Structure 1
Amino acid sequence: MHQGSQSLKTHWKGLSVFVEHPEVPMDNNPGEKFIRNPVTVRKQNLSRPPETEVVHD
């Protein structure tokens, strides 16, 4: 528990910046959504056997 509370104390200013600056989003959802498809495709391709041909639309 101590390690978690210490981390929270250390990073509190950065974690709560959106309170003083409402233009800053609370999360990174647009960034996460932007990279989700390429990451998903990469993971799917890495799990296929090498002889499988991958066709993208």
Structure 2
Amino acid sequence: MSTPTCPCCSQTLLRHISAKGIYWFCPACYQEMPTLITEVLARRNRELLTLKV
């Protein structure tokens, strides 16, 4: 399994857990990077909800 890297600087990302959920953190950019699967599922759920209305 490959280690995720920052899309901005290619630094290795660190996995963090907070009250908001799981996310990746870049120590070089000092930025939170959301997990891709979380973003994909959230978008899919929003699309499904708009279809049901």
Q: Same fold (TM over 0.5)?
A: no
TM-score with structure 1 setting the length: 0.33
When you count strand as a share of all residues, which structure comes out higher? 2
When you count helix as a share of all residues, which structure comes out higher? 1
TM-score with structure 2 setting the length: 0.34
